[in-house]
Structure 1
């Protein structure tokens, strides 16, 4: 049985979509961005599963073609390989570049898409993990990577869709791209007629509509004690160290990098879950709250009105704290 059950209050101008009687449920799955994706979608009888699968794959492949640092021909990888100077982005890529840098400024760098050099240095980039017995990066190595990182070091020209970058700066959207892709897939499914669906990419989820029995999409939250969330026309993203980390000298190093220090986050936060209408926003905010110290993260979430659940690792085990908006969703006595 779940320790916590969260039921958001849905205040919408339009009621959630409900599949018509007899609409089949299509279950689709595959791999992308080094992880798994899945879709559950109710669609009109004339919309075949193969069509929904192909539409989903096209959107996910488009995200890889734009933002993957693991594919040399992606738009971001080509930008990273280019010399210092201005780089002009496509409209789709520009939208996330501009949004990400706006989030970086608003969070004081807690979420920062310019940390590719640091991500690579710590063994979480396309160069692969650090050798098991290799020493940790030195202060000089960290200082060099920091000199080639930082959202303040780039200049944007919105009219031209260009970013001017210094030498060595590399973009990395791994903390945001999955959420962006979830939003794109969800929008595409709606255009295909599957207005009631649940999309998941690497643990980031977005739900639209209700099931035929008027039930929400129930999802289990990652990263802590078992919790269930009733998802209706919302997205949920979790940032944590469960899947991508390494151990050295008895200490755990997670893949989330604090660009202000040039090191992986090390203040005890093991997972942060955020709810938002947009999966990309939820993804970015979860990353920011992971970087911020727990007290700062809660204060930030409350100022922003974010529903956030923070899981901390201590000598006494896992502990959870939640923002006021998240606490308001908690079903008492569940």
Structure 2
């Protein structure tokens, strides 16, 4: 939810929207009131199309899909943007001991949350075991000098937990490059802000309570917290928009790469504030997999700003890291 944006005499907050990566994007930029928005919109769309064209698992000709389909024992030169994202994802996988793992794609697909057909019941244990044999970030090799990635055989990268965040950052870079001094970029719920609104106030966004329909937050009691986003990003990862139910149990799209199963704990959503969206986006997934008991110590040790919303016995409960509490005050 975005707060109001009162205009100044010469500059106003202009709004642009579009579609990308199976979701929507929006940009609010401080621009002269008389300026045509078409060229700005086309530039933003082209930036996001570049990310989607390289990193989509839904597009057979994307660089990522070509790598996933490649034979064992082959090296593949990757576009600079895709290589940057893969390298970041693998670094997080290493730091988290595999709780976050971009090779989780076979399990995501098996559980019906990827390009394959959706499911209405959990897969057989034998199928999960077979898919787990293809998981393992440590199997991959990177060559930074040539921006190349080694396919050991059977590895299927899924960058859906980081590509949208990277797209937010890349759009921000584009807006900076064309001289836009203040903007708020959103792609599929991941946001980053820069500069201030014409009246000098910062960009403010609300963290939705689970259960609010997308884009339908109208009352403050539907928000958990309100944060400012001038010079930082926020990503929210939740269990309440992509799931299926079977046998009286809900199965979330967040798959624990270490077990091959949807996360079983009480996390409703996780919000992460970071300098860049490429950091915040996958950290939301990691925190959801770890849960509050493991995730909050991980966040405290690294100074990460993390907010958990949990299904408690008496309703929704909040747990936040010291860095998130500090971010609310700034």
Q: Do they fold alike, i.e. is TM over 0.5?
A: yes
Matched, 1:23 2:11: yes
Q: Which residue number corresponds to residue 128 of structure 1?
A: 117
Report whether the alignment pairs 1:103 with 2:92: yes
1:75-224 aligned within 5 A: 75-85=63-73, 86-130=75-119, 132=120, 135-224=121-210
Deviation at 1:46, TM superposition (A): 7.6
| Residue 281 (structure 1) shift | 0.4
- Choose from 25, 30, 40 the match for 1:37: 25
Residue deviations 1:202-258 (CA, integer Å, cap 9, x gap): 000000111111111111113445121122111000111121111111111111111
CA distance in 1, matches of 2:135, 2:98: 11
Distance, in Å, in 2 between the alignment partners of 1:283 and 1:265 is 18
Partner of 1:111, secondary structure, is coil
150-159 or 140-149, larger mean C-alpha shift: 150-159
Per-residue Cα deviation, 1:178-198 (whole angstroms, up to 9, x for no partner): 000000001111112212111
**Alpha-carbon distance in 1 for matches of 2:110, 2:226:** 37
Q: Say which SS state the counterpart of residue 59 (structure 2) adopts.
A: coil
List structure 1 segments (4+ residues) > 4 angstroms apart after TM superposition: 44-47
Partner of 1:87: helix, strand, or coil? strand
- Corresponding residue number in structure 2 for 1:314: 312
| 1:159 CA drift (Å) | 2.3
Check whether the contact 1:44–1:194 (CA below 8 A) recurs between aligned residues. Answer: no
Q: CA RMSD in A?
A: 1.7
Q: Does 1:48 align with 2:53?
A: no
Check if 1:268 corresponds to 2:266.
yes
Q: CA deviation at 1:158?
A: 2.1
Give yes or no for contact 1:148–1:166 (8 Å, CA) kept in 2. no
Please say if residues 223 and 240 of structure 1, whose CA atoms lie closer than 8 Å, have aligned partners that are also in contact. Answer: no
In structure 2, C-alpha distance between the alignment counterparts of 1:73 and 1:65, rounded to whole Å = 8
What is the distance in 1 between the residues matched to 2:33 and 2:309?
A: 43
Instruction: Report if aligned partners of 2:13, 2:198 keep a CA contact under 8 Å in 1.
Output: no
Alpha-carbon distance between aligned partners in 1 of 2:280 and 2:288, rounded to the nearest angstrom: 12
Deviation digits for residues 78-117 of structure 1, max 9, x if unmatched? Answer: 1111122222212221111111101110111122111110
Q: Which runs of 5+ in 1 are unaligned?
A: 1-18
Where does structure 2 lack aligned partners over 5 or more consecutive residues? 1-6, 211-221
The higher relative CO (CA closer than 8 Å, separation ≥ 6) is in: 1
Q: How many residues align?
A: 310
Deviation at 1:27, TM superposition (A): 0.7
Distance 1:52 1:288 in 2: 34
Stretch of structure 1 that moved more, 311-320 or 297-306: 311-320
Give TM-score, length-normalised by structure 1. Answer: 0.88
Give per-residue Cα distances to partners, 1:20-66, cap 9 Å, x unaligned: 85023211111111111111101246853111101100111001111
> 1:270 Cα deviation (Å)?
1.5
* Partner Cα separation in structure 1 for residue 328 and residue 162 of structure 2: 27
Name the structure 1 match of 2:296. 298
Q: Superposed, which structure 2 residues align to 1:229-240 within 5 Å?
A: 229-240=227-238
